[in-house]
Amino acid sequence: MQAVARSLLHVPVFGWFLKDALYGLPDAKSYFALNLLAFFAGLTYLFGYPFFIACLLAATGVALTTLVLLTATHLLSKKR
């Protein structure tokens, strides 16, 4: 998991913003969130409604996976 996180820091532009948000000034986190929101809005404007729906479908998959992992870890800890 740390290898994936470290590899995101090496992506040219996104990595610079992420590194600044993690290790920079305290207001850099809000600028990073605003940049992500602007990027999402730009892609929605460029690709339209299908992009928005695809992002929402991906978010539901992530939410369902998170719920399953949260409940399954409790189940697995009882077996040990």
The residues, any chain, with a CB within 8 Å of residue 1's CB and separated by 6 or more, are none
How much is the pLDDT for 3?
A: 82
Rounded distance between C-alpha atoms, residue 80 and residue 74, angstroms = 11
- Residue-wise pLDDT for 42-69, tens only, equals 999 999 999 999 999 999 999 999 999 8
Is residue 54 a contact partner of residue 72, using CB atoms and an 8 Å limit? no
Indicate whether this model's pTM tops 0.75. no
pLDDT category at 70 given cuts 50, 70, 90 is confident
